[in-house]
Amino acid sequence: MDRRDPFRHNVLTSGHRACSGCGEAMAARMVSDLIGPDAIYINATGCLQVFTTHNQQSAWQAPWIHSVFANAAAVASGVEAALRAQRKKTPVVVQAGDGGTFDIGLQCLSGMIERGHDVLFVCYDNEAYMNTGVQRSSSTPHAVHTTTSPPGRVSQGKRHLKKDLISIIAAHNMPYAATATIAYFPDLKAKVEKAMGITGPRFLHLLSPCPLGWAHDSALSVSVSRLAVETGLFPLVELEHGELTGVMRLAEQKPVEAYLRPQGRFKHLFDSKEGGVELRHLQALADARIRRYGLLETDTQWDTHSAMQSARHGRGGYASPMSTVEALNSDA
Amino acid sequence: MKRLLEGSQAVAEAVRLCRPQVVAAYPITPQTHIIERLAQHVADGELKAEFINAESEFGAASIVLGAVVGGARAFTATASQGLLLMTEVLYNIAGLRLPLVMVCANRAVGAPINIFSDHQDSMSVRDAGWIQLYVESNQEAADTLIQAYRIAEACELPVMVCMDGFLLTHTFEPVDLPAQVAVDNFLPPFHFSRTLDPARPMTLGGASEVDNYQEYRVAQHEALENASALIEAFDAEFGEQFARTCGGLVQGYCLDGAQTVLLGMGSLMGAVRDVVDKLRARGEAVGALRLRCFRPFPASALVRLLSGVQRIIVLEKAISIGAGGIVAAELRAALQQAGTPVEGVVGGLGGRDLTPDVIEKIFQEVTPDEGGNTLRFASTHVSPDSKKEVDNG
């Protein structure tokens, strides 16, 4: 039995307690098998920690630690410093969800990158606090239905834009930052391998569908991941020292509706006039990302400009014209 | 050879002698002189350690947590707001049973914001599962720091060395720093039984639920209680090697025949001993007891030392708002069977001086009251409105 043989022994073994179709479980298995068991894994609090460790059981075949929610990057900084002091070369890998990366963990992550620790930070982004019951995070796309951003009579889900984290990370001028998904394994593999060949802070942002929180069929996790890329909502990019050095181009752009329709978290947008405004805005956001990263040979056919100009009045990403919101409020 | 050292310098030199491999900290007054000196030692190559400038105290505590599980001896220091910002990680470090040493340069907690010394910060995290040792002098700060690593690594428990901000950290005293070889003899090289290592994969910090969480907590409590014996033993062993001790768990002064004993923690006890000398010279049967180890709470040692005493006054520099003195309450519980009255006095908050005059007034004026448990406040200010205040006019 060679635990180093990924064909027989995964670093994240079967028998854990993830939901069927869990995008994060698939992503974590892929990433950890690509890195292998000769690394130290630091996990933030979240689904991955909960479903892989339970009452003295563990699904990890590599050294692994969980401390608290916000501090995974700082713990990794300390582990890496200890290894450096002992002249050991063991790779250090952080795994965190979007809450542990975009929100509560961002300060420690920024510190880790700024200090140049030789750590790979992997964010499995399922765009909400799934472990606690699908609450909104700063990674949740605008207009999404979560339990703390429910659509109602006067609002259409989350009122603010998804935080542009990869740009924030890249602004640290760090060696390597990239986005990837489970739907494009060769791309993911190339990025993990590239990241592991670089010294210094590295960041991988993996979109990881959550059938429970996104309310899609659990068989569709890979398809939904692919559609996020094909619509331009989740561009696959690489940034080195703050500069864009790689994008996965699209043969054609699919309308965002193809991505949104299978997901219950966007269902309310298809039921009302106000929802239609949000759909146009989500399309505009996809268009803007396609333009920004040059994902198409030709310019997008969609009307980027008008939807991006919708009256936000400093309210972040919520696209409903203020007049609509005010009219609904005055009814009440 | 004795050198004139600020408390911060003394403790930083002691840290250097313990050869930590990772030092992480975030600046906060009055702790900064400690890490500044360590940073200089690292810059000069006199301390071979990774010096990590954390992005917050929460980060600093997390970095040293990581350093220990990565197999390195580590050090951090903080105070006040910084200690409270670390709170979540402090509990985690203790729950993970990590051998870690930190210095808390004791400072008041806001609001109102105040940089001066009292014990509110460390007392507020007394339930986190750390051993807490309160030092009286710069010499003791240095010596206790060295003992702290020995204790932490033998028990796999974290130790907080609590030293009064400014009163010790910024005050110069003659300090005898041990030789490196002597410290190396006293403190074995760092070893942690659960170091993260791919050759021996281990899962740390996994989830525990209803069926075993309580057992972990009980084990943690027992480990802390069992540490008492080692805290005393290592102080005695330190004494054999260095010809001075730090007071074990509790340190009595003039307890023979004492009818009234004043109990306190930290640097104020020097003044208390002076007052005891003065009152003894006048024929008053008074004594003093310094609580060096607050966690684990040395209840049985206190009961033993205080048997036969008629009146105990606890003078403490922290308050459980809405309840009163913290040490006084715990001592009352310990002395429940003996039934000795324990008078609680809170004072010295936010750096207010507890002068010999104030302490003498406390000895003279604090008498058992009808209902018991009345909280009094020591003050250098005249406050005609408050009959409960003990002032020195």
- Local confidence band at A117 (pLDDT 50, 70, 90 cut-offs): very high
How high is the pLDDT of residue A318? 42
Question: In terms of CA atoms, which chain B residue is nearest residue A60?
Answer: B203
- Give the minimum alpha-carbon distance from B107 to chain A in angstroms, rounded to a whole number: 25
At B32-48, the pLDDT tens digits run 999 999 999 999 999 99
Contacts of A117 (CB under 8 A, 6+ apart): A76, A77, A80, A81, A92, A200, A201
Give the three-state DSSP class for A156.
strand
Q: Which of B259, B258, B256, B253 is nearest to B292 (CA)?
A: B253
**CB proximity under 8 Å: A 18-37 to B:** 37
CA B260 to chain centroid = 24
Tokens of B119: 């014990």
- Give the minimum alpha-carbon distance from A90 to chain B in angstroms, rounded to a whole number: 8
Question: In terms of CA atoms, which chain A residue is nearest residue B86?
Answer: A71
Q: For residue A288, what is the enclosing H or E element?
A: helix A273-293
Give the three-state DSSP class for A6.
coil
Whether A185 and A173 have beta carbons less than 8 Å apart is answered as no
Most A CBs within 10 Å, among B64, B98, B203, B209, to test the A interface: B203
At B290-331, the pLDDT tens digits run 999 999 999 999 999 999 999 999 999 999 999 999 999 999
Sequence spans of domains, chain B: 2-242, 250-392
Four-point Cα dihedral A282, A283, A289, A292, nearest 10? -130
Common-topology check for domains B2-242 and B250-392? yes
- CA dist B34 and A290 (Å) reads 52
CA distances from B140 to A213, B6, B11, B177, B267 (A): 56, 12, 9, 11, 10
Inter-chain touch A74–B59, beta carbons under 8 Å: yes
Q: Does B76 touch chain A (CB under 8 A)?
A: no
ipTM over 0.90: yes
- CA dist A86 and B48 (Å) reads 11
Closest CB from A52, A62, A65 relative to B204: A65
CA distances from B40 to A266, B12, B35 (A): 56, 10, 8
Choose between B66 and A311: higher pLDDT: B66
How high is the pLDDT of residue B386? 45
How high is the pLDDT of residue A7? 63
Lowest mean pLDDT among B50-59, B186-195, B340-349, B363-372: B363-372
Whether B295 and B321 have beta carbons less than 8 Å apart is answered as no
As a whole number, the mean pLDDT across chain A is: 90
At B173-200, the pLDDT tens digits run 999 999 999 999 999 999 999 999 999 9
Whether A3 and A61 have beta carbons less than 8 Å apart is answered as yes
> How would DSSP label each residue in B99-147?
--EEEEEE---SSSP--S--SHHHHHTGGGS-EEEE--SHHHHHHHHHH
Four-point Cα dihedral B227, B229, B230, B232, nearest 10? 120
Between β-strands B2-6 and B172-176, what pairing exists: parallel, antiparallel or unpaired? antiparallel
Domains of chain A: 23-309 (3.40.50.970)
At A151-163, the pLDDT tens digits run 998 888 998 999 9
Give the three-state DSSP class for A129.
strand
How high is the pLDDT of residue B378? 85
How high is the pLDDT of residue B376? 87
Mean pLDDT in residue range A271-300: 88
Sign of CA dihedral A265, A268, A274, A275: positive
The reply to whether the predicted model has a pTM over 0.80 is yes
- CA dist A200 and B50 (Å) reads 16
At A41-91, the pLDDT tens digits run 999 999 999 999 988 899 999 999 999 999 999 999 999 999 999 999 999
At B205-260, the pLDDT tens digits run 999 989 999 999 999 999 999 999 999 999 999 999 999 999 999 999 999 999 99
Helices and strands (DSSP H and E) totals, chain B: 13, 17
- CA dist A94 and A92 (Å) reads 7
- Local confidence band at A1 (pLDDT 50, 70, 90 cut-offs): very low
How high is the pLDDT of residue A17? 95
How high is the pLDDT of residue A330? 54
How high is the pLDDT of residue B372? 59
Q: Where are the alpha helices (DSSP H) in B156-212?
A: 180-186
DSSP 8-state assignment for residue A231:
T
> b/e for A12-35, b at 16 or more Cβ within 10 A?
beeebebbebbbbbbbbbbbbbbb
> How would DSSP label each residue in A164-220?
-HHHHHHTT--SEEEEEETT-HHHHHHHHHHHHTS-S-EEEEEE---HHHHT--GGG
pLDDT at A297 over 80: no
Mean pLDDT in residue range B53-71: 98
- CA dist A315 and A159 (Å) reads 7
> Domain B2-242 belongs to what architecture?
3-Layer(aba) Sandwich (3.40)
Tokens of A60: 């990890």
Q: Does A93 touch chain B (CB under 8 A)?
A: no
Q: ∠ CA(A65), CA(A60), CA(A218), 5° rounding?
A: 110
- CA dist A191 and A286 (Å) reads 23
pLDDT at B13 over 80: yes
> How would DSSP label each residue in B17-31?
HT--SEEEE---TTT
How high is the pLDDT of residue B374? 72
How high is the pLDDT of residue B220? 97
Contacts of B149 (CB under 8 A, 6+ apart): B18, B73, B99, B101, B159, B187
pLDDT at A9 over 50: yes
Choose between A322 and B336: higher pLDDT: B336
Q: Which of A36, A203, A27 is nearest to A114 (CA)?
A: A203
Closest CB from B62, B92, B197 relative to A78: B62
How high is the pLDDT of residue A5? 65
Q: Does B98 touch chain A (CB under 8 A)?
A: no
- Local confidence band at A311 (pLDDT 50, 70, 90 cut-offs): very low
As a whole number, the mean pLDDT across chain B is: 94
Inter-chain touch A82–B22, beta carbons under 8 Å: yes
How high is the pLDDT of residue A302? 53
> Domain B250-392 belongs to what architecture?
3-Layer(aba) Sandwich (3.40)
pLDDT at A3 over 70: no
Q: Residue B375: is it exposed, middle or buried by C-beta count within 10 angstroms (0-12/13-18/19+)?
A: middle
Contacts of B264 (CB under 8 A, 6+ apart): B272, B288, B289, B290, B291, B314, B315, B316
pLDDT at B80 over 70: yes
How high is the pLDDT of residue B370? 59
How high is the pLDDT of residue A300? 56
- CA dist A31 and A195 (Å) reads 11
How high is the pLDDT of residue A305? 52
Whether A23 and A218 have beta carbons less than 8 Å apart is answered as no
Q: For residue A245, what is the enclosing H or E element?
A: strand A243-247
Choose between A264 and B373: higher pLDDT: A264
How high is the pLDDT of residue A332? 42
Whether A241 and A174 have beta carbons less than 8 Å apart is answered as yes
Chains A, B: CB contacts within 8 A come to 168
State what percent of residues in chain A have pLDDT above 90.
Answer: 83
**CB proximity under 8 Å: A 288-307 to B:** none
How high is the pLDDT of residue B160? 98
- CA dist B239 and B147 (Å) reads 11
Tokens of A295: 């994902």
Lowest mean pLDDT among A239-243, B106-110, B347-351, B382-386: B382-386
Q: Which of A40, A175, A78, A200 is nearest to B51 (CA)?
A: A78
Contacts of A101 (CB under 8 A, 6+ apart): A44, A109, A121, A123, A125, A139, A165, A205
Q: Residue B370: is it exposed, middle or buried by C-beta count within 10 angstroms (0-12/13-18/19+)?
A: exposed
Whether B29 and B107 have beta carbons less than 8 Å apart is answered as yes
Lowest mean pLDDT among A55-59, A204-208, B116-120, B312-316: A55-59
- CA dist B250 and B232 (Å) reads 9
Whether A24 and A31 have beta carbons less than 8 Å apart is answered as no
Mean pLDDT in residue range A281-308: 77
How high is the pLDDT of residue A312? 42
Q: Which of A156, A164, A160 is nearest to A125 (CA)?
A: A164
On chain B, the residues whose CB falls within 8 A of the CB of A65 are 66, 69, 196, 203-205
